[in-house]
Structure 1
Amino acid sequence: MATKKPENLSFEDAMAELEGIVHSMEQGTLTLEQSLKQFERAIALANSSTNKLQQAEQKVSILMANDTQSLATAFDGDVE
């Protein structure tokens, strides 16, 4: 099975793979070359996950800003 690029994985899938990498490295049974490949993959997964979190944070900020404006409008109209 071909390994997907980190940016093509969901956040949850990337985190699960990252946890698996950490577990395999903690076991201490990987060769130096395998460890380096796993570390490289882990960095790519972590960077991709960070980007996805930042994008989600931006969306939440935009939604909250829009929601605050609509609530303020609704309250202004309801006040007697």
Structure 2
Amino acid sequence: MAKKNFEESLARLEEITEVLEKGELSLEQSLKMFNEGIKLVEFCHTKLDEAQGQVDLLLKKNGRMEPVPFEPSVKQDVIQEDSD
């Protein structure tokens, strides 16, 4: 699989889905496409995780809004600190 961006990977995944749904491929061809699809799903999932990691959360700190890089562990810590 060549290096692709999220949109290209998603488009290819949609193509694979359409082809597999038609059921016209041999078992071997279907498995090969299914395997490619799994790799694309993993790639897209990773890209979505990376995008989520770039989201800034606005937190009220010392009476003003302050951008904080999103990290799942940081988010949990902030929630716990805010409840104190």
TM-score w.r.t. the length of structure 1 is: 0.70
Structure number having the greater helix percentage: 1
How many corresponding residue pairs? 65
Q: CA RMSD in A?
A: 2.2
- Structure 1 residue runs of 4 or more that deviate by more than 3 Å after TM superposition: none
Matches of 1:10 and 1:68, distance apart in 2: 35
TM-score under structure 2 length normalisation: 0.67
- Pick one of 7, 14, 38 that aligns with 1:12: 7
| Percentage of pairs with the same residue | 34
Q: Give, in whole Å, the separation in 1 of the partners of 2:11 and 2:48.
A: 15
Structure 1 Cα separation of the partners of residues 44 and 17 of structure 2? 15
Structure 1: where are the runs of 5+ without partners? 75-80
Residue 25 of structure 2 corresponds to residue 46 of structure 1: no
Aligned to 1:64: 57
Task: With a CA cutoff of 8 Å and minimum separation of 6, indicate the structure with the bigger relative contact order.
Answer: 1
Report the structure, 1 or 2, having the larger strand content: 2
